[in-house]
Structure 1
Amino acid sequence: MKVDQKIQDLIRDRNTQVPTLPVIVEKILSMAKEENTSARILAELISKDPAIANKILRLSNSAYYGMMKEIDSIPRAITIIGFNEVVSLTIGMSVISTFSNKDAGKNFNMKGLWIHSLGCGFASRNIAKKLGILQSEQIFISGLLHDMGKIVFAIYFPDEYAAAVSHAKENEIDLYRAESLILGINHATLTGMLMEQWNFPEMIHVPARDHHSVEDSPSKYQRLALVVAFSDYLSQRAEFGDNWTTKAPAITRIREELGISRDEADEMVKSLKEQRDEIEAFFEVMK
């Protein structure tokens, strides 16, 4: 059986050890589809999971948010930080915690990947707000989870993934191209498969899936995929984690399509670098 078929079977077979979505995330995704969802319902749901509730409060009181007064309850966190942001934080920390407990081998930098992914998530949110895209929290999740496929490769196909990494370095090509050559599928496509299996809405999993193939993304999600692709690049430039820089011509085209100037891009990188300590502290709470 070809490696890519083994990977697809691994994701689709619910009896395998590929992590399933935490119950709280399933409930939140389901809740988000309901028209009568309220802050009270969200607070009650989070409060039923003491570990998640504690992390939400710790994040709410972290240096990143810079609150002058302590946030001491989930309802207050939702009021101060915002309903949608608490939802995205809960989903993000649940997925990070699920994967961070897995053994991906000594040669895989799990922390580096998540620091890079957090950088991508925060950049995605900021760009979305700058461009007037209403789904800023959904795109935060897309950016945060865009590289999950790399973790699945490292855990379940370590030899093939190591070969792909070596091939990318030796031939100076993008890692996702080397993955396609050696594994028959790249990490972005695999991420999309996993998120679809977990019943994430298209608005979240399609931009994550298409961040290396924005030209093929459906028109209604293409701008969101462009945001994730450019944010991925910004996080690389800010030196968050171990990554390969996307070739400049493609990035220049993406930047121009988003209407972002070179100076604005440089300022975004500078801002990310200045937030590095806060983002690393963020990860330590979220994992």
Structure 2
Amino acid sequence: MQPPESHATRDLAADIAASLVDDVSYLVSPPDICVKVFELAESDDASARDIGEVISRDPSLTARLLRLVNSSFYNFARRIDTVSRAVTIVGIRELYSLVLAVSAIKSFSNLSNNLVNIDTFWRHGIYTGLIARILARKCHILHPERLFVAGLLHDVGSLVLYAKLPEQMRDLLLVCDNDEGILHQAELAELGFTHADLGGALAHSWNLPEPLQEAITYHHLPSYSMGSEMETAIVHLADVLANRSELGAFCEQGDAESGRLDESVWEILGLDPDQFDAFEVIGEAGLQFSETAGLLMARA
């Protein structure tokens, strides 16, 4: 439990957080194609052909999406050669999630950062996203690809802090000693807000669905979620498991005992902790990880 703060202190912290988001908005605004696909996905009468035509205006995005839907990320038996066909098979909302993932990595990587290895940062996001998608399927959540996006983007607020408050974050990274949970607490104590708060604000600016905004905001505090408990618990558990993996940890090397799990997630997700095989889930994500990371993180 955090010590009580005055209203003035909380208001000041909120103002600082809002100003940081405003400062980077021109660097991380969603691309026009992303906005257009979102509008079509929300429309009642958009067709697969409509969405395919919009995405096809960007050859690089088209090529990357087709490589993703033909990869182990989906493991379809037959090859998919057009975006409209991908929409038909995968679904409009699911394909929009992939558009978001590809666009977000490119956009948020525009933020300057000299504190952490950006490849390690995105590997952690991708691994968390893959585990979140697996957990969403286990829990019979609709549109599990959206949980991949929430997992992928759960730490994007950190990139804002690294870019805008590098000296303070350098000190906090030393204090946390590669423990993401300790870093979250240290940010709150030092700044009055956290990377999760900033990530939620950025998710709002990208028009992500409210459950994903909440999952990003409370991924360290799932019991604080109100209304999107399932999504938040999934991202929290996925984050902890990713930090225990060799390839997807927040730091350079995973630790099988790392990560402070909020025990409330078991009840929220309806999972039995004694029957849950963490290593199986981590391993399943690992089978998809290298190919998915290579496609999403490709420079061109």
Letter in 2 for 1:268: V
Residue in 1 that maps onto 2:111: 102
- 2-structure distance, mates of 1:286, 1:226: 32
> Does the CA-based 8 Å contact 2:245-2:282 persist in structure 1?
yes
> Does the CA-based 8 Å contact 2:72-2:288 persist in structure 1?
no
Displacement after TM superposition at 1:211 (Å): 1.0
Quick check: 46-55 or 265-274, which moved more? 265-274
Displacement after TM superposition at 1:286 (Å): 7.9
Quick check: 229-238 or 62-71, which moved more? 62-71
- 2-structure distance, mates of 1:108, 1:279: 21
C-alpha distance 91-126 of structure 1, shift in aligned 2 (>3 A) = same
- 1-structure distance, mates of 2:282, 2:28: 33
Letter in 1 for 2:133: R
> Does the CA-based 8 Å contact 1:4-1:183 persist in structure 2?
no
Letter in 1 for 2:86: A
Of residues 160, 164, 178, the one that matches 1:152 is 160
- The DSSP-based 3-state class of the residue aligned with 1:21 is coil
Letter in 2 for 1:25: C
Residue in 1 that maps onto 2:221: 213
Residue in 2 that maps onto 1:137: 145
C-alpha distance 210-77 of structure 1, shift in aligned 2 (>3 A) = same
- The DSSP-based 3-state class of the residue aligned with 1:41 is helix
- The DSSP-based 3-state class of the residue aligned with 1:174 is helix
Which digits, 9 at most, give the CA deviation of each residue in 1:123-161, with x for residues without a partner? 111211111111322222211111100111111211111
Displacement after TM superposition at 1:109 (Å): 1.5
- 1-structure distance, mates of 2:124, 2:184: 16
Q: Number of aligned pairs?
A: 282
> Does the CA-based 8 Å contact 1:71-1:77 persist in structure 2?
yes
TM-score (norm 1): 0.87
Displacement after TM superposition at 1:208 (Å): 1.3
Alignment of 1:252-263 (within 5 A): 252-260=263-271, 261-262=273-274, 263=276
- Whichever structure has more helix as a proportion of its residues is 1
1:5 matched to 2:11: no
Coordinate RMSD, CA, aligned = 2.7
> Does the CA-based 8 Å contact 1:125-1:139 persist in structure 2?
yes
- 1-structure distance, mates of 2:47, 2:183: 42
Structure 1: stretches of 5+ with no match in the other structure: none
Of residues 68, 85, 103, the one that matches 1:76 is 85
Residue in 2 that maps onto 1:188: 196
- 1-structure distance, mates of 2:13, 2:207: 24
- 1-structure distance, mates of 2:77, 2:229: 39
- 1-structure distance, mates of 2:281, 2:150: 18
C-alpha distance 172-98 of structure 1, shift in aligned 2 (>3 A) = closer
Residue in 2 that maps onto 1:265: 278
C-alpha distance 265-150 of structure 1, shift in aligned 2 (>3 A) = same
- 2-structure distance, mates of 1:136, 1:70: 22
Which digits, 9 at most, give the CA deviation of each residue in 1:20-71, with x for residues without a partner? 1211222222222222222112111101122211211222333444455543
TM-score (norm 2): 0.83
> Does the CA-based 8 Å contact 2:41-2:92 persist in structure 1?
no
- 1-structure distance, mates of 2:23, 2:169: 21
- The DSSP-based 3-state class of the residue aligned with 2:177 is helix
- 1-structure distance, mates of 2:179, 2:98: 38
Residue in 2 that maps onto 1:223: 230
Residue in 1 that maps onto 2:206: 198
Quick check: 60-69 or 186-195, which moved more? 60-69
Alignment of 1:110-129 (within 5 A): 110-129=118-137
Displacement after TM superposition at 1:18 (Å): 4.1
Structure 2: stretches of 5+ with no match in the other structure: 1-8
> Does the CA-based 8 Å contact 2:64-2:295 persist in structure 1?
no
C-alpha distance 183-45 of structure 1, shift in aligned 2 (>3 A) = same
Identity %: 30
Quick check: 70-79 or 163-172, which moved more? 163-172
- 2-structure distance, mates of 1:151, 1:82: 31
C-alpha distance 172-24 of structure 1, shift in aligned 2 (>3 A) = closer
- 2-structure distance, mates of 1:113, 1:217: 25
> Does the CA-based 8 Å contact 1:92-1:144 persist in structure 2?
yes
